[in-house]
Structure 1
Amino acid sequence: MEAPHVTLTIWWLAAITGTLIFLLYFMPIMPNRQQQRNICLAPAAGAAALVLYAVFRHESIQTLLPMYTAIVVAFPLGLIGHRRDMKEKLRDREVNGPSRENEPSIGSTIQVLVALFACGSAALLYVNL
């Protein structure tokens, strides 16, 4: 199966849009400024990991834009319907520390894994490795 051609400009726009979606989803549910700063670093860390991969594997960074986009979009997609619960658990964790009660539910964990698998699989159609 061959994916339709998507220009490099479109992939850059998709990556930027995916990053904005990620930040718009996660920033409001973080209970304090430190965690908001940390969540802002997550897309940068993902991009840095893909850049390192590209450098060490002698790949073009642009060929990995679909994978980056898929990863940053998969997390918000995987948590659709769990935002309020996640916000409450993050606040509880900040006040009471880590406990069994404020861990992510099995349902949300499975949903995130399915979204990562689905988005990653779709992105592999566009990655030229």
Structure 2
Amino acid sequence: MPLQDSPLWWLFAIMSAAFWLVIMVRAMPTRGLKAFVATGPVALFVCVVGYCLRYGDSFATALPVYCAVVIAVPTGFLGHRNALREKLSDPAVAYGDAEGPWTLQACVSLLMFGGLAVYYVTH
């Protein structure tokens, strides 16, 4: 597919990372959680770089999957920012133990965006 190698995917990747930062960082109540969540797009990009170097794929062909994951995670939290902030404000609740109505929404968005990206890359 000619659009898979398009340089526009780099622009989409930057926009996806900005979307992540706007949604996820604003949802975190403490400075430490904000810093932790802000590293998400970079950590995912390191995984993409490792995959591309290991299997010899071009970055442009892996960027659709990167964009899908980076967009899917914040989409899963849309509409639940205040509830998430309230839950994470409790020092007894660890970041990984914060469950709420956003959990199902995040899982569905990851499956939907991830499935669409894999379909796009493979066809």
TM-score, L = length of structure 1: 0.82
> What does 1:68-79 align with in structure 2 at a 5 Å threshold?
68-79=66-77
Per the alignment, residue 118 of structure 2 pairs with 124
Q: Which of these two proteins has the greater Rg computed from alpha carbons? A: 1
**Partner residue of 1:97 out of 71, 92, 105:** 92
8 A contact 1:63–1:128 mirrored in 2 = no
**Partner residue of 1:37 out of 35, 38, 46:** 35
Q: Unaligned 5+ residue runs, structure 1?
A: none
Identity across the alignment (%): 32
Aligned CA RMSD, in angstroms, stands at 2.2
Q: Unaligned 5+ residue runs, structure 2?
A: none
User: Cα 1:128–1:62, aligned 2, differ >3 Å: closer, same or farther?
Assistant: farther
User: Cα 1:4–1:88, aligned 2, differ >3 Å: closer, same or farther?
Assistant: farther
After superposition, give the CA deviation of every residue in 1:56-94 in whole Å (9 maximum; x if it has no partner): 1121121110000000100111112211101111112xx
TM-score, L = length of structure 2: 0.86
Amino acid of the structure 2 residue aligned with 1:91: S
Aligned residues: 121
